Amino acid sequence: MQCSRLPQVEFDQMTLGAKVLEADSHGAKVYLLEDGNILKVFRRKRWFSSALLRPYSQRFVDNAVRLAQLGFPTLEVISHHRLQLPGRTAVLYRPLPGETLLQLSRRPDFDWTQQLPRLVELIQRLHQAGIYFRSLHLGNVVETPEGLLGLIDVADMRFLRAPLSPRMVQRNVQHMVRYIEREKLACAFPLEQFQAALAVR
């Protein structure tokens, strides 16, 4: 997909009336547009970096396409843009319908007994497909209206030619463990069963 220039006036029109879903000290990062689509803004953090050659927005686009080709539910990219501000790009996409496991887990009637095997299966499929998803956590796994589990926020991902090594599997699972502890979900989330199912000690 080509990366086209998006002038500031068109950016302003696109985001008019949008809800800001995420922001930092540099401004809004994720907009929910009035038509239900999402515009995600990427900023190059360092002047000299690999993002000069392949911006994170391009990785986001490529990874979403690759995941869909491999049969993993994910967001649908509509367009990719260079913004007027230096070092900034943006991706317009249709979000993956559904709720994240983090959102679902906060419901009073939620039960990990049913969801854990499905989460483990998804992660095992990723690892067998050689996919190392650095941002693997409950906030980036979505249950769709069809009852499938899919992935969002897919920029930070590597596709290898072979299944992940045990060391990489362990590293990837530890990302999830640290996230659960940081979000204070360890009391409710079955960490031991999760790690045992993925053969991580």
| pLDDT tens digits, 87-99 | 899 999 999 999 9
Domain ranges of the chain: 3-94, 99-197
Which of 61, 59, 53, 54 shows the shortest CA–CA distance to 80? 61
Q: Which CATH class is domain 3-94?
A: alpha beta
β-pairing verdict for 88-94 and 76-83: antiparallel
pLDDT digits (tens, 9 = 90+) for 43-58: 976 544 444 456 899 9
Global pTM reads 0.90
The rounded distance, in Å, linking the Cα atoms of 193 and 10 is: 50
pLDDT digits (tens, 9 = 90+) for 127-177: 999 999 999 999 999 999 999 999 999 999 999 999 999 999 999 999 999
The rounded distance, in Å, linking the Cα atoms of 72 and 180 is: 23
- Quickly count: other Cβ atoms within 10 Å of residue 104's Cβ: 17
Q: What are the CA-CA distances from residue 6 to residues 14, 105, 178 (Å)?
A: 10, 38, 38
Q: Which CATH class is domain 99-197?
A: mainly alpha
